[in-house]
Each structure stands twice: as structure tokens, then as C-alpha cells.
Chains A and B, each alone.
Chain A
Amino acid sequence: MKPMLQVKGLNSWYGESHVLHGVDMTVGEGEMITILGRNGVGKSTTLRTIVGILRERKGQILFDGKDMMNVPLHKTAHAGIGFVPEERGIFATLTVEENLMLPPVVAKGGMSLDEIYELFPNLAERRTSPGTKLSGGEQQMLAMARILRTGVKMLLLDEPTEGLAPVIVQRIGEVLKKLKERGMTVLLVEQNFRFASKIADRFYLMDHGQMVADFPVSELPNQMPMLHKVLGV
């Protein structure tokens, strides 16, 4: 499989505090990867460092063969990386449709507005409401939908199911499966282990700012004792 994202020896800092201690990972084209790990081990920071929100970073990030370390933040999306933050980042002063249309289209192959409304009928109904008047689940859908329009090749998703009702979680799973069918590469941070085990191809296990294990979904049963130990589930 052609590697889409290669990360080697990635370190990053929040001011004085050293969070990532040499992260190594590879995500193949069209793969769906989930990073597992306890709270505070650096999962979200890994995504934020790859995207470039955290600029205090060292190491190597290759995306689609391109060195991303010196790419300015506003060029990351144009290289083909889309990001859905944990807090979702729906804008209160923008309507649903304005939120949806906000990220510039960076490449062909994104969904059209009609396709998005077909996939998320709730958003179509509420297109003129302020973005933050939506329910938590709808906001998550909106946060994902607006990235799908842009034609990025890879999606970084930070805890998309956090705080959502099971029926909505299931819906998000369906959407992610559809994205996979379209060939989207996805890197997911997820606390909901059951959810992740249903959709991911492969897992990275993170501890103390490093990747400590890496295994495909088929090995999941054998890995359970180790996961129990590291995750404390």
C-alpha cells in the first residue's frame, strides 16, 4: 500500500511542556487508522502537530511524499489534509450553510453541496440556522461535512463520538464507512473502543507521547490483554 502519511521521530511542545516524544507512524492511502490511548498521552496533540497548529515541533512529517514541516498553517489544507477538531469548531456567527461553505475547495473530488445534503438531510433542513443552534450530533456531522466538500485526501478526526448518543455514534460510523468507500484516508483519535473496533483497519496504541504498539484489526482479540493493561478498560 502506498503510504499517504509518514511520521518519523515527531516531537512537539506546548511552551515548556514536552508532549510528543518521538512519534513514529505510517498511514497508507485509503486506510482508516485509529489511535488509542488513555487521556493525556498525546493523541490529540499528535493530530494538532501533524496539521501544524502546534508549530513547536521537530522530526519528519511526509504527506503524499511532500515534506510538511515548513508548510505554513494555511497551506496544510491545500496539500490535502483536512482536520475536524475535538471541539468541532462550528462558528456561531455563521449559518449552517455558511459553515459548510467556509473551507475553500482545495482539490477536485470533494462532495457537492447536494451530495452532502443527501448524506446529511438534517443539515439541509437547518441550512439557515446559526451553526451552534444545532444539536451536538448535528454539529459533528456539520464539522465533518464541511471538510468533505474540500476534496482533501486525508481526514484527521479528533474524538468524533465524544458525548454523543449511541444512535448518532452509529450514524457517524456509517458516514466514515462511506468515506472509506470513496477512498478517503482517515486518521482517527477515539476513546470509544467499541466504535473504533468496528470501523478501523489498523490501530496505533499511544502512551507517554509515543506509539507503543501497532496492529491490524484482525489481531485485536490477541491484543486484548495488552490493551486492558495499557488502557485500563
Chain B
Amino acid sequence: MQALFGQLLIGLINGSFYALLSLGLAVIFGLLRVINFAHGAQYMLGAFVAFLLLQYFGIGYWAALIVAPLIVGLLGAVIERTMLSRLYNLDPLYGLLFTFGLALTIEGTFRYLYGASGQPYAPPPLLAGGTNLGFMFLPNYRGWVVVVSLLACLGTWLLIEKTKLGSYLRAATENATLVQVFGVNVPVLLTFTYALGAALAAFAGVLAAPIYQVSPLMGSNMIIVVFAVVVVGGMGSIMGAIVTGYMLGIAEGLTKVFYPEASNIVIFVIMAIVLLLRPAGLFGRDA
């Protein structure tokens, strides 16, 4: 019983990160039609910015939770404006190759500077310790991660589905030219979207720092699973990315309880099955 809840919690935590990261990927892919391979690097950058802020400026976790996504988002905006935007008229493969190269460059740089081993990052004192729930022991920080990532997902969903800005994003996803004819500056919208996706990844990175340690490779380990999540959920579907992220995280946790040998591959097995039965993904619209 203890093991079940323990693994469920780990599944939920992993699911939170899958959801946050695949959400960002889905938002970027939806509008830019770019498969952002740099997403894992941006997640890692978020964690590293938090680590460096603490190391050199004494800026702690709570401020980093805001500042690191802002910095990485801004960096994303610069990259989109100066480089990625030049590739929109080419085959989508170029966007993929570019972001893949970008990821290798960023990860290589940090690996050169900090080595492959992780740097510790302590959880904030406010969330140290744990709570005994009776049926299990819940580390406070992990509870916080589940709650706050759920809120971030919900906030992003609301931004896209319920606001004016979101209606521009959805409309431009369907027909960017017409939205531009109406007088909306779509290139700025694209920059904003890429920055938003990068910032979400960085936010997840800061949340992950106290759990997984801050390492240059933390992103590339995560991103492969996240791509599987996006494929299962359906490319470009916002709600699909969120729900599938949590679902697959939990599926992975449950597999660890009942058949640990399969836990590393269960997500990819699910991906293969979904691809066979519903190639557009669980929440994707059929093309």
C-alpha cells in the first residue's frame, strides 16, 4: 500500500513535468509549426539560472521561480526573432534541425562549464520536511510541485482558451494570413508564443531543481519522454498535452509498482499503441 501511494506520487510529480513541458511544446508547435527540440535545454536552463542566481546573487527559490522563466523567455524571444523566424518559409525540418542544434550547443556549453554531474539545489526552507497523511508520508516540496504545476497548466489553458490574446493565438494557428489581414501583428505573436513556451519549460526547470539536481543533461533525459507524451496527446492540442502528461506520469508510476521491469518503456509502448490505433493522438483532430 505504501509502495503504491509512493509510486503514485512519483508518477504524479513526473506527470507534472511531462504536462508542463508538453504543454509548452504543444503551444509552440500549434502556432509556429516548429518541433522545438531545444525545449529540454530550455528546461535545463531554467534550473541552471535558478542555481546561478543563488550562487552569484544570493537570489533564492521564490524569486527564481519568477526571474528564471523571464530570463529564459527573453532569450527565447531573441532566438525566435533573430534566427528561428528566418526558417518559417522553409521545410519544417529546418526548424527541427535548428532547435536540435541549439539544444546540443546549450547543453554542450553547460557540460563544459559544470561537468555532467548534478549540482545540488536545496528546496526552500518553507517547504522543507513533510506531512504524514496517514496512508503515506508526503514531502511538502513534492506536494507543492504537484499543486503549482497544475495551476500553471490551468493558467496557460485559460490564457489560450478564454482571453483575447488567446483568441488571436488560436485564430493564427488556423489561418495566420487572415489574422494578419485583420490588423494583428502575427510576427510579434509568434515571438511571444515561442517565449511563452520557453518560459514554461524554464518554470518546470526551476520546480525540478530541488528534486532532480541541476545537471546539463536533465533536459535531454526528460525531453524524449515528453515527445512521446506529445505524440500520444496529439500535436498542438493544449488540453491533450496537459491531460496526457499527467496520465502517462501516473501510468509510469503504477507500472513501477506492478511490473517494475517495464516502467522505463511503458510510455513508449502506449505511444506505439496510440500511433497504431489513432495516429492523430488521443486529443488530436484528424487531419
Contacts and interface: CB of A to CB of B under 8 A. Distances in A.
Given A53-B177, A85-B178, A89-B175, A75 B170 contact: no
Interface string B155-181: 000000000100110110111011111
Nearest to B185: A74
A92 interface: yes
A122 interface: no
Contacts of A77: 181-183
Contacts of A94: 167, 170-171
A73 B180 contact: yes
Contacts of A91: 170-171, 174-175
Nearest to B285: A92
Contact of B182 (A92, A93, A104): A104
Interface residues of B, number: 19
Interface stretch (A95-103, A173-181, A196-204): A95-103
A50 to B, nearest CB: 11
B184 interface: yes
A192 to B, nearest CB: 23
B181 A73 contact: yes
Contacts of B185: 74
Contact of A104 (B173, B175, B183): B183
A93 B236 CA distance: 12
Given A93-B174, A94-B170, A103 B164 contact: no
Interface residues of A, number: 23
B87 interface: no
B150 interface: no
B168 A102 contact: yes
Contacts of B182: 77, 102-104, 150
B138 interface: no
A172 to B, nearest CB: 20
A104 B186 CA distance: 13
B102 to A, nearest CB: 28
Interface in A79-124: 83, 85, 89, 91-94, 98, 101-104, 106
A101 B164 contact: yes
Nearest to B160: A93
A126 interface: no
A76 B175 contact: no
B181 A83 contact: yes
A46 to B, nearest CB: 15
Given A75-B183, A78-B183, A103-B182, A92 B177 contact: no
Contacts of A101: 164, 167
B181 to A, nearest CB: 5
Nearest to A152: B183
Q: Which 3 A-B pairs have the closest CB atoms?
A: A77-B183, A103-B182, A93-B170
Interface of A: 51-53, 73-78, 83, 85, 89, 91-94, 98, 101-104, 106, 150
Given A75-B183, A150-B183, 12 more contacts: A73-B180, A74-B186, A83-B181, A89-B178, A91-B170, A93-B171, A93-B174, A94-B171, A101-B164, A102-B179, A104-B183, A106-B183
22 contacts: A51-B181, A52-B181, A74-B181, A74-B184, A76-B183, A77-B181, A83-B181, A89-B178, A91-B170, A91-B174, A91-B175, A93-B173, A94-B170, A94-B171, A98-B167, A101-B164, A101-B167, A102-B167, A102-B168, A103-B182, A104-B182, A150-B183
